[in-house]
Amino acid sequence: MNSSFNKFLIFKKWIVILMICFFSTNFLYIPSVSALSDSRQFVLDAWTLVNEGYYDPERLDDIQWKRIRQKTLQKQIETSEEAFSAIEEMLRPLEDPFTRILRPKDYELLKTSNFGSEINGVGLQLGEDEMTKKIKVISTLAGSPAEEAGIISGDLVDKVDGISTSDLGLANTASKLRGESGTKVLVQITSMSDEIKEIDLERRSVDLRPVRTKRLRDDSHTIGYLRITQFSESVPKKIEEALEELKDKEVEGVILDLRNNSGGLVSSGIAVADSFLSEKPIVETKDRNGVKDAIISQKKTYFDGPMVTLVNKGTASASEILAGSLQDNGRSTLIGEQTYGKGLIQSLKSLGEDSGIAITVASYLTPKGNNIQGRGIIPDKILDFPEAREYGNSEDKWVKNAEIYLNSLFDKNEVEETSIKTLNKDNDH
């Protein structure tokens, strides 16, 4: 019996030793597991942000979003680059070019363009054609290498440094076009007339100067010209200051130029609309729960006189929110071309310390309930003659056309005022 008991004790001792070894091995292995799981956690964080914020939950169900998570996490994901690639692959079934991962360089650049005053690159604002899925030019930044090379809205970007943009996708195409000042990039473009050309562009620092203003004078009237090149954080304040300055110069009306303004911060575009509208609906947003939220302007305005707004096919996103609110409220006549048609709103989320993810979180409707996604806004007056190379200069026929239109409004108002005065005078007698 003692022998059996001793054997039991020895057996028990070995079990304890084996358990200690097992758990010790696992404790020693934990750091390695953690190191591997960092990249996987990065991917999972991205999946969760999209799962909780994407504006169209039905689309997530259609592509079996939960199954995509499972399949993605089964892949080898040990490095940051593997994590970025896994997220790109995970997002592809959404077929939403605006929901995208932003690597450190792109994330920093996007923040700079939204909050800063200059950007390094060639000055192309890109989008994806809804029908063909090809990468096309929304607009070019004023004074940029792309603008100087004659690239215009509607041109297709086929290749960047010999790599097909259909393989790169929207985000990677935009990323390859950016870089240090002085470096060059070869871009293959197909124009709207199907002309294929290769253009060697040298990257440089482009001054965004989002708000540009001047006074236009003729023999009888004074008009303020106000151009917004993009909607960064500083724009609403700059617009308020510009409008105050123009009022001090006693302008009778304003030409608001939104040509080739591809958007930026939606909140900035809404704030600018608030400067022109008094207690009027600016935009209606629709979130993932189908909840419609109407944004109404404040009572105070910074300018309430006559105005004309210039738009073209490079007018997109936040610019279309502004243009649509002015048109639907009868606040401004829209002149130019049909706009781009981006009616989706993205939210920028941080991923880790230096990267991010842009997620489409809502769609928007104009005050009259028009959905412009893929359709754009049709101006009140179509202009079919060529635009000037430099917007707002003395040769800009679109601005001249806007001036003529405003002058006709002034003259009409003067006639009406004269008629009212005459009628009142007759009634006094």
Provide the annotated active-site residues: 317, 328, 342
CA dist 75 and 95 (Å) reads 22
Specify the pLDDT at position 25: 31
As a whole number, the mean pLDDT across the chain is 85
CATH of domain 211-412: 3.90.226.10
pLDDT at 260: 87
Give the pLDDT confidence score for residue 144 in this predicted structure: 87
Q: What's the confidence (pLDDT) of residue 124?
A: 87
Question: Higher-confidence residue: 365 or 412?
Answer: 365
- Region 189-199 average pLDDT: 92
Task: Specify which residues 103 forms β-bridges with.
Answer: none
Q: Residues 205, 119: contact at Cβ < 8 Å?
A: yes
Enumerate long-range contacts of 85-88, CB under 8 Å, 24 or more apart. Answer: 86/43, 87/42, 87/43, 87/46, 87/357, 88/169, 88/171
pLDDT given for residue 65 in this prediction = 97
Least confident of 113-117, 306-310, 403-407: 113-117
pLDDT of residue 293: 86
Task: Tell me the DSSP string of 150-165.
Answer: T--TT-EEEEETTEEH
The burial of 239, by beta-carbon neighbours within 10 Å (0-12 exposed, 13-18 middle, 19 or more buried), is given as buried
pLDDT in tens, 355-400: 999 999 999 999 999 999 989 999 999 998 888 877 888 889 999 9
Cβ proximity of 303 and 276 under 8 Å: yes
Q: What pTM does this model have?
A: 0.78
> Which among 349, 291, 295 has a CA at the least distance from the CA of 318?
295
Residue 180 has pLDDT above 70, yes or no: yes
Flag whether pLDDT at 319 surpasses 90: yes
> Does residue 328 register a pLDDT over 70?
yes
pLDDT digits (tens, 9 = 90+) for 2-61: 544 444 444 444 444 433 333 333 333 323 334 346 899 999 999 999 999 999 999 999
**pLDDT for position 198:** 95
DSSP letter, residue 140? E
Please report which helix (H) or strand (E) contains residue 228, including its range: strand 222-228
pLDDT band at 208 (very low <50, low <70, confident <90, very high): low
DSSP string, 305-319: S-EEEEE-TT--THH
Q: What is the pLDDT of residues 96-137, one digit of tens each?
A: 988 999 998 888 877 766 655 456 689 888 887 767 888 988
Supply the pLDDT for residue 301.
94
Q: Tell me: domain 119-206, CATH 2.60.200.20, correct?
A: no
The residue with greater pLDDT, 145 or 121, is 145
- Across 182-208, average pLDDT: 89
Beta-bridged to residue 200, according to DSSP, are 186
Residue 368: predicted pLDDT? 94
pLDDT for 173 equals 87
- List the chain domain ranges: 2-90, 119-206, 211-412
At which residue do the structure tokens 């499972």 appear?
70
Average pLDDT over residues 259-288: 93
Q: What percent of the chain has pLDDT over 70?
A: 85
Pick 231 or 410 by higher pLDDT. 231
Predicted confidence band of residue 237 (pLDDT cuts 50, 70, 90) = very high
Beta bridge partners of 214: 225
Average pLDDT over residues 272-281: 97
Q: How far apart are CA 186 and CA 191, in angstroms?
A: 16
> DSSP code of 373?
T
Higher pLDDT, 208 or 68: 68
Most confident of 292-296, 334-338, 382-386, 422-426: 334-338
